[in-house]
A and B are shown apart, each in its own frame.
Chain A
Amino acid sequence: MNNFMRKYIIAILSIMLLTTACKKKVDAVFDQSPDERLAAVINAFQDKLVKQTDGWKVLVKPLTPGSYPFYMKFTNTNRVTMLSDISDSAAGVPRESSYRVKALQQPTIIFDTYNYLHVLMDPTPAINGADYGVGLVSDIEYYLPTTLIQALQGTKPDTITSMALKGRYNGADILFTKASPAEAASYNNGDLRKLRIAVNNYSATNLHRLYMDFGDGVKVLVTIDLANRTVSFFWIKNGTAFSFTSTFYFTLDGLQLGNAFNYNGTTIITKILWDNIKLSGTGTGAAVPIQISATDVYPLHVLIGTTITGINLPAVTSFPGWSDDFKARRAAVATALINGPYGLTLDEMDFSTFTPNSDTLYVVVFQGANGYLAQFYYTYTKTPAGVFKFTMTGTDGNASLIVGSMAPLLGQRINVDNFTVDYYNDPVEGQLVRFTSVQHPDFAFTGRPR
């Protein structure tokens, strides 16, 4: 090996050494660390919430049916103020609570002290009428999905006008939409509360009398049930009864339906508007006014077995609309049961799952602390004028043991008489359904309709 070669080799080696050493340098795909980028997203999202001074229209969709709107305003001091349509007061009285945006597995907004939003999640059944221990299967922590994160990291985060997040625990959906200055003014003015009250009063005043006519002469009965957040439609066409029920939530101008009502394939109702005087349905096609009938659109007996599927008689000795004879006979039954071989206490009675021609009477009895269900099976016929005739077709095992004790109510009256039906209005209980015997007009009872 000559000198030159040796020099050459050494030179090459040294250059190689230098080059490889430099190749060790890490070329980051991102110019910031994951933590820095995470912090940037969190800040961008929080900025977005706070800088929208007109606030956000927020729609929560839990895993149980229905959607729940809120109006929220955020501060940079971890405070959020909200309105909600869950009650008159929640719609008018802003409530403040705490929130924070934090990195959990994903960037997440946590509503971390109680507010109207938490009513949906609350596991106590008395709070929201939901199942024990689970609430309406909603959420109080929502994470930012990848698409939103990318939008916030993008070049034009200012153009984002709505943000969809996902609940971490149950997977509920939440959608933030920017409120306009006009909407903000309206929310701040208590318009949501006013609308809620107005619609409730209007529908209660005109109960059973609101209808739509889609141009074919059929009256479609509209019933707004604020407690259950549903709108139901009922109509009879060519002798057949139809019904459709949808959830709804309040917007500033009316009721947004959860499921569109498609009456005839051309007119599809997605929203019911309130113009401070009257209601109308809108969606696809021309708006359809909701009219007021002078009398009930459909007589009560038509609704039984169609929209009214059950009548509950509570476990009390006296109830609005119960005739003296009914009360005396119920008391006689109670006495017979307690003095009978099983020492039973009469609890509630329930005419359940009315279908157009059959029904089951459930009677709950207690032996000490243990409740038992006795089932009496019925069919019934109904004249065009609405006179019911019930026929008992059988009983289950429990009912067979007490059918004798029940005779003052069943064997002597309900099983043999004909009945008419009408509404009975009580200031406390509201609207009840009353059955009155044709043969014994002094025998009448009411129940809470379902």
Chain B
Amino acid sequence: MKLIVKYLLILSVAVPLSLESCSKKEKLDPGDPLGLGGDKVTATAIDKWIMDTLTTPYNMEVKYRFDEFEVQLDRTLVPPKEEQVIPVLRTIKNVFMNPFEKEAGITFLKTEIPKQIVLVGSPAYNSNGTILLGEAEGGKKILLYTINSINTKNRADVKMMIRTIEHEFGHILNQKVKWPPAFNQITVTDYTADWTNQTVNDSYAKGFVTPYSRSAYGEDWVEMVATMLTEGRAGFENLVAFADALSIAQGLPSAAAKLHQKEAFVVQYYKDVWNIDFYSLQQRVQDALDAIAPQPFNPLYTEFGAGKRYSSLNVAKDLQTSANFIALYNKTADTLKAKTGTILDSLIISKPFSDTLLLTVRFLGASGTPAYYANYRYLVTNNPDGSMKFGPVILQPSRGVLESNANAVKTGMKPLTDFFTLNTLVLDYKGGHPNSNLVTQTGGLNIANGEKDFMLGILK
């Protein structure tokens, strides 16, 4: 028995020893799996730009190197051209991110922004003949296609891309706070799974901005957001007017009423939930788009006159930015007050005939009432570049215009009436192009080859 104990003792020491010595020979640590920690590629200037401009400030990853696991596996796709990467991202920064940052602050943007953008060079071709422009996944990732063919100087190209992003970003915000359920009731009977077979015009007439809007309440909501932001207020109002005409033609309830109702919900949601002034955001997006390329437009001088888009320019002092014009205006007001005791109120410029410019002066009696109108008429020489040269002011009654008031205050108005005769002037939009976010446009009578935004007024 003693022996057994002795041998057991030996064993109890030897066995663990032997096990230990065996285990020492095994490799229990295989090291990290290959590729753990992501791909290692040597950073290029593009990578550095992305890091400095997007990743560090906004915690946002951009993937432009092809990675089959980030895209649909059943499509033939190619990666972006490297020279497209920074221009496209800069456009996204300027048109999508900056307006939100300015309107809602950097914290909002850092918190809510999609965390990953994946760029693909080609479109994704669908078997039904359509192409995919973008996709979003789980509120985190946005996939953008057709990067190689996007011209970042072309407004339509940029709008299409930004529209995709705004759409997906709308979803992301909705995942945090849902849109108000009352929104769903506005066009509740016209949502359909068969949206691909609905025409654009039919969707307009029923109070939707796109056929895709009809697929679900949430899609309707983000399509509204994307449309309003990329089209601007003026563009949206044009769409509403067009849709309304279609609804009337089809004997349906007013599409304008429905669309304006939806618009109000969107604006209210952004105010209440995110403390964002949506109209101001809209203006910022439009300004950014205008900075890339203004909406194509006809020169104002071709759109101004009797029977044309604009028939008058209503000049008001509070619109002015030109110190020279304010000086001229004040001098005229002072002269008018001194010579006639009346108060200069505002000016209306119109072109009832192509060779005739009418300067209508609204002035008030010494006590502020009543209001009088005086018409000063000029013969106009229209130059090929759209500028106008004026003859001497005409005070004789003609073409149905009575000139008695004009005669009565002509000495007081002399600084302004002389100015017309002495200068070559040209009509143009404020800033050189229409503001795509405004329904009512501001224009100006500028000095040809001289000061821009000189005599500003509302175009009517």
Please tell me if the beta carbons of A78 and B121 are within 8 angstroms of each other in the complex.
no
CB B48 to nearest CB in A, in angstroms, measures 13
Most buried by A among B30, B31, B122, B149: B122
Q: Is B26 an interface residue, CB under 8 A from the partner? A: yes
Q: Is B450 an interface residue, CB under 8 A from the partner? A: no
B124 nearest CB neighbor, chain A only: A123
Complex Cα gap A212–B67 (Å):
50
Please tell me if the beta carbons of A134 and B76 are within 8 angstroms of each other in the complex.
yes
Q: Is A277 an interface residue, CB under 8 A from the partner? A: no
Most buried by B among A6, A76, A100: A100
Please tell me if the beta carbons of A110 and B66 are within 8 angstroms of each other in the complex.
yes
Q: Which residues of A contact B78 (CB under 8 A)?
A: 114, 118, 121-123, 135, 140
Which of A18, A100, A140 has a CB less than 8 Å from the CB of B39?
A100
Which of B3, B21, B27 has a CB less than 8 Å from the CB of A3?
B3
Q: Is A141 an interface residue, CB under 8 A from the partner? A: yes
With A33-B30, A118-B121, A123-B78 as contacts: A18 and B15 at CB distance below 8 Å: yes
Please tell me if the beta carbons of B76 and A133 are within 8 angstroms of each other in the complex.
yes
**Interchain Cβ contacts within 8 Å, total number:** 123
Q: Which residues of B contact A135 (CB under 8 A)?
A: 76, 78
Please tell me if the beta carbons of B11 and A140 are within 8 angstroms of each other in the complex.
no
Please tell me if the beta carbons of A10 and B42 are within 8 angstroms of each other in the complex.
no
Complex Cα gap A77–B40 (Å):
10
A75 nearest CB neighbor, chain B only: B42
Q: Is B179 an interface residue, CB under 8 A from the partner? A: no
Please tell me if the beta carbons of B22 and A21 are within 8 angstroms of each other in the complex.
yes
B77 nearest CB neighbor, chain A only: A123
Q: Is A276 an interface residue, CB under 8 A from the partner? A: no
Complex Cα gap A11–B10 (Å):
10
Please tell me if the beta carbons of B122 and A124 are within 8 angstroms of each other in the complex.
yes
Please tell me if the beta carbons of B31 and A36 are within 8 angstroms of each other in the complex.
yes
Q: Is A25 an interface residue, CB under 8 A from the partner? A: yes
Please tell me if the beta carbons of A6 and B65 are within 8 angstroms of each other in the complex.
no
Q: Which residues of B contact A93 (CB under 8 A)?
A: none
Please tell me if the beta carbons of B7 and A140 are within 8 angstroms of each other in the complex.
no
B52-71 interface with A by 8 A CB criterion: 64-68
Number of A positions contacting B (CB below 8 A): 48
The majority secondary structure among interface residues of chain B is loop
Please tell me if the beta carbons of B68 and A10 are within 8 angstroms of each other in the complex.
no
Please tell me if the beta carbons of A14 and B7 are within 8 angstroms of each other in the complex.
yes
Q: Is A438 an interface residue, CB under 8 A from the partner? A: no
Q: Is B176 an interface residue, CB under 8 A from the partner? A: no
Most buried by B among A103, A112, A122: A112
A147-199 interface with B by 8 A CB criterion: 168-170
Chain B contact residues (Cβ within 8 angstroms of A): what range?
35 or more
Complex Cα gap A7–B6 (Å):
10
Q: Is B14 an interface residue, CB under 8 A from the partner? A: yes
Q: Is B249 an interface residue, CB under 8 A from the partner? A: no
Q: Is A35 an interface residue, CB under 8 A from the partner? A: yes
Q: Is A369 an interface residue, CB under 8 A from the partner? A: no
A97 nearest CB neighbor, chain B only: B82
Q: Which residues of A contact B44 (CB under 8 A)?
A: 79, 98
Most buried by A among B7, B32, B64: B7
CB B53 to nearest CB in A, in angstroms, measures 18
Please tell me if the beta carbons of A114 and B82 are within 8 angstroms of each other in the complex.
yes
A: which residues have CB within 8 A of B? 3, 6-7, 10-11, 14, 17-18, 21-22, 24-26, 28, 33, 35-36, 38-39, 76-79, 97-98, 100, 102-104, 110-114, 118, 121-124, 132-135, 140-141, 168-170
Provide a sorted-by-A list of 23 A–B residue pairs whose CB atoms are within 8 angstroms.
A10-B4, A10-B11, A14-B10, A18-B15, A21-B18, A28-B27, A35-B34, A38-B34, A78-B41, A98-B41, A98-B44, A103-B35, A112-B79, A113-B80, A113-B81, A114-B78, A114-B80, A114-B121, A121-B76, A123-B77, A123-B125, A133-B127, A168-B68
The 8 A-B pairs with the shortest beta carbon distances in the complex, nearest first, are A133-B125, A77-B42, A112-B65, A112-B66, A114-B81, A123-B76, A35-B34, A10-B7
